Amino acid sequence: MKKRLIYSCLVMAGVSLSVGCTKNFDKLNTNPNATSSSLFNPNFLMSQAQIQFSNTGYDQLLYQSMWSQSLAGTYNYYSNGDKYVYGGSFQDYKSRTWNTSYGAATLVYEMKNLVAGNAAYSNLDNCGSILLVMMFERITDAYGDIPYSQALQAKAGVSQPVFDTQESIYKDMLDKLATATAALDATKAAPTADLFYGGDISKWKKLGYSLMLRVAMRLTKVDAATAQKYAEMAYAGGAMSSVADDAKVYTDYSNGNGNSDAAALLVTDDFREVRWSATLMNYLQSTNDPRISAVGEVSAGTGKAANQNEAPGVSTAALQIGMPNGYDQNGGATDISHAPNYPGTSPADPSVSGDAAAPDGKYSRPRFAVYDDRNRANYIITYGETELLFAEAATLGWNTGTAATHYANALTADMLTLAQLNKTAQAVVDPTAITTYVAAHPLVPATALQQINMEYFVETSTTFNFNETWANWRRSGFPVLTPVTYPGQFTDGSIPRRMEYPVSLPSTNGANYNAAVGKLTGGDLFTSRVWWDK
């Protein structure tokens, strides 16, 4: 935020300096608000865009985390995601992915404008191109057709941009990634305010190819030839090769950029009633996954007071139980007490005056020390995810290496990545347990796609990258989810496949919005599907 204020002030300073000189008055007066890289360091815009884009909070917690059945919640505020029922601030929050991502993209777009044609900033410019693809991918994955070719150009007078088709957007994103990633040059000046890698261009190149792979693999069901072309290009180019290459942003609570996921979960009602889902926890338990204790816990005490007290709990693996989606605490047919295999309430603590039982108290919540850390990392894309996608590509017969090796690498990497969620490692998995687990779970050709994508589900869920969890579920069909049945749903009973457009668009960009909606089967609905979702 401070950097954005500095940028605004420097723009105004540039205006003042311009009007004080008359040598080139006509030229300057044509664009009195112009600034340049000589007046303002464009690197500052990179860091602000990175923190804004990565810090999602309720953007994904209220919807994507529960549509993918990574988390579950009885608190009515989460009914949008958990039950597909309109809940608190519904219209606001369904627009968050759009607004947050376009807001971050605006900063990158301005950064690229400032450095355009300046060879000294070529790496920053190309990193900006990679960032824009990352941001547009999230928006189009959620909504479908979106403003792209004319987006972010309000300063040039484009206030009502056309909505490009998702097909054209994906093809252009792949082309841009190929150009920008190849152009990165470690012998030239590096970004100086890079929250991902501290300006390490070799890591940016790996990120570019890993993102290329992810974008390409979205197309497996609609354009396999293009998917194969770019997946093989990413493999040949050199994608991420260790967890040190993971793209993440550590938040900074002391500087006003605290982790927004943690801020949400630390709200008393959220802390008491948001839990790991049965879908996720049952799978981890069924495979004896050593990550269980690293990511899950139950309250150390009993009763309501203990379950809403912000304190570390008990992470013993055998005690961890996931909560099924679709239940509440309203006392009726959908009350959590009626859930299959309900473990019972956590009884009131008789030593606490006025305490009450905690209906969710025996279900596993995200581990306090790990996920409620206001300085925790926000993950964008990881080495483990990259290895899983290469494994899938190899399973399809593409030239991306050996599927079994990629899969084994991913299992190890995904467990090591958890330790990086916090600056002081909290979610640590014992190295011996990792080795044992990997050896006991080799990739089996007959079930390869299921194994790969179930691990993708676990990895993206436990790193709180729920936008990616939901996107890959729609693409792959794994995990196989049972939709929630609950009164008053805003779908036909099926799990949402896309996000409805922001409610403001019909009035601010009506013609282009209507044209985009006209291409959606069924219209602007949560049940309509984006182009690549077949």
pLDDT tens digits, 235-253: 999 999 999 999 999 999 9
Rounded to an integer, what distance in angstroms lies between the CA atom of residue 216 and that of residue 233? 10
pLDDT of residue 90: 82
What pLDDT digit, counting tens, does each position of 116-128 carry?
Answer: 999 999 999 999 9
What pLDDT digit, counting tens, does each position of 181-227 carry?
Answer: 999 999 999 999 999 999 999 999 999 999 999 999 999 999 999 99
Give me the domains of the chain, ranges plus CATH numbers: 42-261+373-518 (1.25.40.390)
Q: Does pLDDT of 27 surpass 80? A: no
For residues 49-73, give the mean pLDDT: 97
User: What does DSSP assign to residue 19?
Assistant: H
Torsion of Cα atoms, 450 then 238 then 250 then 392, to 10°: -10
Smallest CA-to-CA distance from 45 within 205, 193, 254 is with: 193
Residues 6+ apart with CB under 8 A from 203: 196, 197, 244, 245
Rounded to an integer, what distance in angstroms lies between the CA atom of residue 266 and that of residue 365? 12
Q: Collapse the DSSP code of 248 into the 3-class scheme (helix H, G, I; strand E, B; otherwise coil) and give the result.
A: strand
What pLDDT digit, counting tens, does each position of 344-369 carry?
Answer: 999 999 999 999 999 999 999 999 99
Please tell me the least confidently modeled range out of 15-24, 141-150, 299-308: 15-24
pLDDT of residue 40: 78
Q: Are 293 and 316 in contact (CB under 8 A)?
A: yes
Q: Does pLDDT of 179 surpass 80? A: yes
What pLDDT digit, counting tens, does each position of 434-444 carry?
Answer: 999 999 999 99
Residues 6+ apart with CB under 8 A from 212: 174, 177, 178, 181, 230, 233, 234, 237, 239
Q: How confident is the model at residue 88 (pLDDT cuts 50, 70, 90)?
A: confident
Please tell me the least confidently modeled range out of 16-20, 175-179, 370-374: 16-20
Please classify residue 32 by burial: count the beta carbons closer than 10 Å to its beta carbon, then call 0-12 exposed, 13-18 middle and 19+ buried.
exposed
Q: How many helices (H) and strands (E) does the chain have?
A: 25, 8
Write out the H or E segment, with its range, that includes residue 141.
helix 122-143
What pLDDT digit, counting tens, does each position of 488-532 carry?
Answer: 999 999 999 999 999 999 999 999 999 999 999 999 999 999 999
